[in-house]
């Protein structure tokens, strides 16, 4: 029987077998890495603002729709990752099944997303530490965490995976505790300040299902879609995963249903215990709920959890951006120096370049916050949605080509159910999340900056391709 991997040899340019990167990660690592990319300050800090804008029921609805979309996209990624488990996954798939220019653009956008995030994450970590150590400058703590994250990524992929598992575990434990205690408070077993009895779920419909109108819910859905970004990290790790045929699908399914429970469960607890008119960004809704239950040191506990979330995001971000550069070098798009690995099998040059990119992003946030940094943040905000578009589109083309080459669907170790409906829905919903941003004045600038940036990426790829041809001629 022909293996799924054989299609890569007949449908695209050859890619190296990746002898330098080592398969050290299992299902547990993949799940926690994905959690690390998704569960962050958006849930711990910004969710209160979302509730205040869309109302409690509208926020739950928006998160439910976002969960459906991410599930559709990840099923597409699952089929591709199992058939072709390679580092830099979706960039490689876009190159093969859409076009080299698209693959290059996807890689640049995704690299930019995580690199920009690195700068803000290290600053955020320093600010939190300054609350406990006010006499120490923010940059000192930022420098300490930069050294820590770079070291964890440079030692080995196993060290990265284990550290990410620990950091993500702290966040998951906090969310589970929050949901459990929240449910006990909702039913009246735990007393909540401001309520004589059990609060119940009456706050969920206070002011109607959509107190600020359905339009506010629509705008929230765009933001919520971005909140689920990070699950695609599973695809990037495929090339360094043990037994990807079994591990990747298992990790995708386990991750998605847990994320759905964590996100929607947390939002329901917040909405039930915090009147939507009182929700906002003055403090974390987790702190508000814990404090209302009389839990001591609520703010310090959540600051510790948020610190873990920030370091987790930085850890995952450096890993993702490093593998994107390595993948581009592996296929010959950028200089071969970025493919070099250290004795632990880690792409050390790509790691250093990504960290330098993060430091430059940090500097731009200080010295050009209203110009360059604002543009970069706007572009990176849409980048993940464009990656999801590429994943769904790649899966559609992969399956068509697989059948056209005379293969049977039953030969695929993992296949998307309901083809072609599932990838088409993923494609349309992801595109809608990108295009319909024009109706949200707060996010409209992202579209204006991203379109010319994408065009510039295609142009850059064409120039690089012409130079490679000139060199080899």
Reference 59, options 267, 292, 301, 349; nearest CA is 267
Pairwise pLDDT comparison (291 vs 457), residue with the higher score:
457
Query: 218 exposed, middle or buried (CB, 10 Å; 0-12, 13-18, 19+)?
Result: middle
The share of the chain scoring above pLDDT 90, in percent, equals 22
Q: And the tokens for 83? A: 């058939």
**Residue 9 pLDDT greater than 50, yes or no:** no
Please determine, for residue 20, whether its predicted confidence score (pLDDT) is greater than 60. no
Answer whether residue 258 shows pLDDT above 90: no
Q: What is the pLDDT of residue 352?
A: 94
In this structure, what token pair is assigned to residue 1? 């029987």
93 or 159: which leads in pLDDT: 93
**Considering only CA atoms, which of 38, 27, 323 is closest in space to residue 167?**
38
- pLDDT given for residue 464 in this prediction: 86
Cα(first)–Cα(last) distance of the chain, in Å?
Answer: 39
Q: What is the dihedral of CA 368, 312, 301, 252, to 10 degrees?
A: 130
Q: Is the dihedral of CA 27, 28, 30, 31 positive or negative?
A: positive
d(CA 80, CA 3): 13
Question: Tokens 């099923």 — which residue?
Answer: 75
CA angle 42, 128, 60 (to 5 degrees): 20
Lowest mean pLDDT among 37-46, 57-66, 354-363, 411-420: 37-46
> How many whole angstroms separate alpha carbon 187 and alpha carbon 180?
11
Q: Where residue 1 falls among pLDDT bands split at 50, 70, 90? A: very low
Confidence of residue 11 (pLDDT cuts 50, 70, 90): very low
- Of the pLDDT bands very low, low, confident and very high (cuts 50, 70, 90), residue 240 is low
Does position 412 have pLDDT exceeding 60, yes or no? yes
Give the pLDDT mean for 333-341.
88
Banded model confidence at residue 351, pLDDT cuts 50, 70, 90 = very high
Give the pLDDT of residue 5. Answer: 43
Which of 274, 279, 224 is closest to 52 using CA atoms? 279
d(CA 453, CA 158): 35
Tens-place pLDDT, residues 265-319: 998 998 888 887 777 656 778 888 888 888 888 889 988 998 998 898 888 889 8
The whole-number pLDDT of residue 19 equals 43
Distance CA 240, CA 135 (A): 42
Confidence of residue 239 (pLDDT cuts 50, 70, 90): low
pLDDT reading at 254 higher than 80: no
Name 444's Cβ contacts closer than 8 Å, sequence gap at least 6. Answer: 437, 438
- The DSSP 8-state label assigned to residue 436 in this structure reads G
Judged against a pLDDT cut of 60, whether residue 7 lies above it is answered with: no
Residue 8's pLDDT is what?
40
Q: Which residues on neighbouring strands pair with residue 241, listed in sequence order? A: 25
Tell whether the model's pLDDT for residue 3 goes beyond 50.
no
pLDDT at 4: 43
148 pLDDT higher than 60: yes
pLDDT of amino acid 214: 80
Share of the chain above pLDDT 70, in %: 88
Total number of residues shown for the chain: 473
Q: What is the overall mean pLDDT for the chain? A: 82
Helix (H), strand (E) at residue 403: helix 372-404
Establish how many alpha carbons lie within 13 A of residue 223's alpha carbon, considering only the half-sphere containing its beta carbon: 22
- Does residue 357 have a pLDDT over 50? yes
């Amino acid at each position: 029987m022909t293996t799924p991997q054989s299609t890569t040899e007949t449908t695209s340019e050859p890619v190296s077998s990746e002898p330098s990167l080592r398969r050290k990660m299992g299902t547990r690592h993949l799940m926690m890495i994905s959690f690390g990319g998704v569960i962050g300050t958006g849930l711990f800090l910004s969710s209160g603002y979302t509730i205040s804008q869309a109302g409690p029921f509208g926020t739950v609805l928006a998160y439910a729709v976002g969960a459906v979309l991410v599930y559709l996209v990840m099923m597409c990624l699952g089929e591709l990752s199992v058939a072709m488990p390679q580092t830099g996954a979706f960039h490689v798939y876009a190159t093969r099944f859409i076009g080299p220019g698209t693959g290059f653009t996807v890689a640049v956008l995704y690299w930019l997303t995580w690199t920009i995030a690195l700068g803000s994450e290290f600053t955020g970590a320093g600010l939190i530490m300054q609350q406990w150590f006010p006499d120490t400058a923010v940059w000192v703590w930022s420098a300490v965490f930069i050294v820590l994250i770079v070291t964890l990524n440079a030692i080995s992929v196993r060290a990265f995976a284990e550290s990410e598992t620990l950091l993500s575990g702290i966040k998951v434990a906090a969310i589970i505790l929050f949901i459990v205690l929240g449910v006990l408070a909702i039913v009246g077993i735990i007393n909540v300040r401001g309520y004589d009895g059990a609060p119940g779920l009456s706050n969920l419909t206070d002011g109607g299902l959509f107190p600020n109108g359905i339009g506010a819910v629509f705008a929230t859905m765009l933001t919520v879609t971005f909140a689920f970004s990070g699950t695609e990290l599973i695809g990037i790790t495929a090339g360094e995963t043990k037994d990807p045929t079994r591990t990747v699908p298992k990790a995708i399914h386990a991750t998605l249903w847990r994320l759905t429970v964590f996100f929607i469960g947390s939002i329901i607890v917040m909405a039930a215990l915090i009147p939507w008119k009182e929700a906002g960004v003055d403090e974390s809704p987790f702190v508000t709920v814990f404090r209302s239950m009389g839990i001591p040191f609520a703010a310090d506990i959540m600051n510790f959890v948020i610190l873990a979330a920030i370091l987790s995001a930085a850890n995952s971000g450096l890993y993702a951006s490093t593998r994107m550069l390595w993948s581009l070098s592996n296929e010959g798009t950028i200089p071969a120096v970025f493919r070099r690995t250290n004795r632990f099998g880690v792409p050390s040059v790509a790691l250093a370049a990504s960290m330098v990119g993060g430091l430059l992003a940090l500097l731009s946030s200080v010295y050009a916050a209203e110009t360059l940094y604002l543009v970069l943040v706007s572009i990176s905000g849409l980048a993940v949605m464009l990656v999801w578009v590429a994943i769904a589109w790649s899966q559609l083309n992969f399956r068509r080509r697989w059948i056209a080459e005379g293969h049977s669907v039953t030969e695929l170790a993992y296949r998307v159910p309901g083809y072609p409906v599932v990838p088409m829905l993923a494609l349309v919903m992801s595109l809608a999340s990108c295009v319909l941003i024009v109706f949200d004045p707060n996010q409209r600038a992202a579209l204006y900056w991203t379109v010319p940036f994408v065009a510039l990426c295609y142009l850059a790829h064409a120039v690089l391709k012409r130079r490679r041809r000139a060199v080899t001629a």
